[in-house]
Amino acid sequence: MSTRLIKGRKSVCLAKIENQNNRQVTFSKRRNGVFKKANELAAMTGAEVGIIVSSPGSKPYSFGHPNINEIMNKYVGEERPLSPSSPDIDEKYVQTFRKANSRKLNAQLNTLQDQLDFELSLKNKLNQMNKNVESQQEWFRGPIEKMNYTKASILKEELEDLLLKVKKYGTERGYGYENGKWKVE
Amino acid sequence: MSTRLIKGRKSVCLAKIENQNNRQVTFSKRRNGVFKKANELAAMTGAEVGIIVSSPGSKPYSFGHPNINEIMNKYVGEERPLSPSSPDIDEKYVQTFRKANSRKLNAQLNTLQDQLDFELSLKNKLNQMNKNVESQQEWFRGPIEKMNYTKASILKEELEDLLLKVKKYGTERGYGYENGKWKVE
DNA sequence: GGACCTATTTATAATTG
DNA sequence: TCAATTATAAATAGGTC
């Protein structure tokens, strides 16, 4: 705890970070930051957001609300390749996007999410969450073609937030979270 | 000026903004915010970033570094091959993107499971949630391959809502976790 | 690599012009 | 509607363990 070094952030420099390690660290932090912001944008305004990020030497990451592949397909035109000679992609994008508003999946998802948002109380949700457990593994092992990674990342992040809250305020109530493991008595 | 009014921002609430006007304002501001963050990410780390955003009642917007179309073509490269006249594209990225978008479910599954390590360590929470997810499934009937996305969406929504509620009421004292069950008063 | 910490810079919600 | 203001919440650079 003999800390007396300078720690606060410096002003951001809009230039490529030279140091390889710092660059990687910044990439990870800021990639998550962008995804979090995108998630907030989608949640708060109902916007559709799709993001693809790739760093040299790193895996590609994607974010999509409601789903990266759906958004991508809208952008490039569903079920048909984008003509290599087609330069005016923005125009095409507008058209396909408007037409796609009536797509079945989106409508169903919107309905689902609206119901979840406005009809289920927290108490009901929590009670339902407390039902048994069996098929969880199957859920993770099933096809995930249409689910992008970032849904999971965001989910993870929010679980971590939740856990932080629990860790902070929950210990006095007889449970806690330490060293990556739950302690429930 | 004669009155000292409160202007500072409030804490962000991860829920859809009801007021139409505020929602549009927030959309514009935050869209720019996301693009700015994405631009910084690309500039500082050399990452490739592509973003598509669209809000109902608003035009679609895109951000791309170095180029949105190029990035998207890489991402969907499997279904929509790159134009043969793409000389400056690192083939390695293309391969990675193809892999990310691949229909080889096992590859994605492994990646997903790695990212979900944290959640898997919390089985006694997530497994309970799964039951709820299963029950909600009846609301939605569609292609099997999209079921998992639906489950993920539901789960994510529930977690978001749960987190919101916990943040809102948690510090006051209206929640707890005892004997493997959540309690909310 | 990851979690946590802190000083500071940024982003932005509410408000005014 | 759009730009500026300002108080605050959030993000994050650099550090430790």
User: What is the per-residue pLDDT across A85-132, written as a single tens digit (0 to 9) for each?
Assistant: 222 333 333 333 333 322 322 332 232 232 222 222 222 332 333 221
Contact B14, A36 (CB under 8 A): no
CB contact under 8 A, B55 and A75: no
> Would you say the C-beta of A9 is within 7 Å of strand D?
yes
Domain positions in chain A are 16-78, 90-138, 147-177
Q: Which residues from B are below 8 Å from A135, CB to CB?
A: 130-131, 134
**Residues of B in Cβ contact (< 8 Å) with A117:** 15-16, 157, 161
Contact, A4 CB vs strand C, < 7 Å = no
For residue B52, the cross-strand partners are A50, B62
Least confident among A1-10, A28-37, A106-115, A168-177: A106-115
CA distances for B143 relative to A57, B146, B147, B171, angstroms: 36, 6, 7, 42
Contacts A143 to B, Cβ<8 Å? 105, 144-145, 148
> What are the tens digits of pLDDT across the range B49-60?
888 777 766 566
> How distant is C1' of D3 from CA of A113, in Å?
35
Hey, is A47 helix, strand or coil? coil
Q: What is the pLDDT of residue B155?
A: 45
- Overall average pLDDT of the B121-125 stretch: 32
- Alpha carbon B78 to its chain's center: 23
| Alpha helix (H) residue ranges in A84-121 | 89-100, 104-119
Judged by CB atoms closer than 8 Å, whether chains meet at A52 and B59 is answered as: no
Q: Do B97 and A149 touch (CB under 8 A)?
A: no
For chain A, the average pLDDT equals 50
pTM above 0.85, yes or no: no
SS3 B181: strand
B12: nt with nearest C1' to CA: D9
Interatomic CA–C1' length for residue A89 and nucleotide C13, angstroms = 35
The CATH architecture of the domain made up of A16-78 is 3-Layer(aba) Sandwich (3.40)
